[in-house]
Amino acid sequence: MKKTVDAEQQWSLIITPKRRLLEIPFGEIWHYRDLLMLLVRRDFVALYKQTILGPLWFLIQPILTTLMFTLVFNKIAGLSTDGLPAILFYLAGITCWSYFAETMTKASETFTLNASMFGKVYFPRVIVPLSIVLSNLIKFGVQFGLFLVFLGYYMFQGNRAIAPNTVLLLLPLLVLLMGGLGLGFGMIISAMTTKYRDLRFLLTFAVQLFMYATPVIYPLSSLDQRYKWILQINPITPIIESFRYGFLGSGSFAPWQLAYSFGVMVAVLLLAMIVFNQVEKNFMDTV
């Protein structure tokens, strides 16, 4: 017993987690940028690698969802689309919502799905959720291209309800907000699921409910003024409304609303880094 104690006291270097709670390892992320690109490629290629139609699902999924929304919510339920063609209205909402929701959902699985890899080799763990943001950005680009095709078709047909304006130049900011919010919420949920596994089962249901609390299938203008403020608390609402306003000329746009979404994004990302860095130190003991 004495020999064991003496041997332990002879150690001159003890390795312990050194990262502060609110620390973003920009230098390490840049150093491991090749790994980041490799993970982006893995996420993009592996998703449809063994499917017959492959990347065509990037187009098929939003088209089928748009057609279903048009039939159920516009034709049967009679929900307003602010005078816009139903296909364009729903496709605009689906394009934005899908990027945010899929980023959040996949980022929430960072620790549980990559535990074996994290236990074998060191690299900044935040690279994994970052790779999800970038790989989903590729998918967003494909679906946004599909939206532009439909937009061009209806404008060529002379639909006067469509009136694009300069707000569409804010698209990079809108994409940043969607990706940042999805990343932040996903990282927080990922850190929590290391101890509370039930969150994984609740997340899919919560995302569905959250979509109905976002103007994806209905315009914000169709709501009673008494309840409109509830949806305006949702930081995704100004993003989708601004997207529709810029490209379709229908919806609402207010700089202060986007500033609110930006503030929420910053707060969520800061909280996400604090929680993520804390759980990163000992998550292998609980996963």
pLDDT in tens, 165-215: 999 999 999 999 999 999 999 989 888 887 777 777 788 888 888 898 899
Query: Nearest 5°: CA angle at 43, between 270 and 53?
Result: 140
- Measured CA to CA, the distance from residue 170 to residue 178 in angstroms comes to 13
Nearest CA-CA partner of 145 in 90, 98, 97, 95: 95
- Measured CA to CA, the distance from residue 13 to residue 15 in angstroms comes to 6
Look at residue 204 in the predicted model and tell me its pLDDT: 81
Tokens at 275, concatenated: 């929680």
Look at residue 147 in the predicted model and tell me its pLDDT: 94
Residues of the chain with pLDDT under 50: 1-5, 7, 15, 285
pTM higher than 0.75: yes
Look at residue 126 in the predicted model and tell me its pLDDT: 86
Look at residue 241 in the predicted model and tell me its pLDDT: 93
Q: Give the contacts of 104 (CB within 8 A, at least 6 positions apart).
A: 181, 182, 183, 185, 186, 189, 207
Give the rounded distance of the alpha carbon of 275 from its chain centre: 18
Kindly report, residue by residue over 65-89, the tens digit of the pLDDT: 999 999 999 888 888 888 889 999 9
